[in-house]
Every structure is written in C-alpha cells, then in structure tokens.
Amino acid sequence: MKSIGKGIREILNEKGTTLYRVSKDLDIAYESLYRSLNEGTNPRWDTIRRVLDYLGYEVVLKPKRKEVKPEKRRLSPSRRRKGDL
C-alpha cells in the first residue's frame, strides 16, 4: 500500500500543479506541507482533508471484502420436527 502522501503527490502531478501552489492557496507553510507528505510521516487528518478537498477528492471508507454471512444450519434427522424437510 502506498502512503497517502505519495498518492497526493501523484494527483498533484496529474493536475499539473505544485505543492508550493497548494500551500500558498491553502495558506499552509510550504515546509510543513512538504514534511507532512513525505514517506514515513503521520500527517494530521485536517491537512490531508484540506489538500484533498482543494484537489477535488474525498476519502471514502469501505470494507476490504464482502461480509460473509453464516450458512443456515440444517437440523440433523434426529432433531427435525415432523413436517420439516
């Protein structure tokens, strides 16, 4: 899994904008934003949300996989009631 910072940098490249421009438009210190998006850092959620909102993105959480529903238990022949199949 790539980091959120690396993903945001890829979006910046696709949109043709720079980290410097984003920092100026959002009134965030460039150095602070640069450090927040480096590998191995733990950026503040507010910073990530503001940058993604500026770029026109949102974070959506979804389950990794479909929830597995347990199968209905079938009664053994000795536990069935009359009329049950």
> In whole angstroms, what is the distance from residue 79 CA to residue 81 CA?
7
Residue 74 has what DSSP assignment? P
What pLDDT shows up at residue 4?
86
Q: What pLDDT shows up at residue 82?
A: 65
Contact between residue 12 and residue 55 where contact means Cβ atoms under 8 Å apart: yes
Give yes or no for a contact between 8 and 52, defined as CB atoms under 8 angstroms apart.
yes
Domains of the chain, by residue range, sit at 4-55
Q: List the pLDDT tens digit at each of the 85 positions of the chain.
A: 468 888 899 999 999 999 999 999 999 999 999 998 887 788 889 999 999 999 999 988 888 877 667 777 666 666 666 665 5
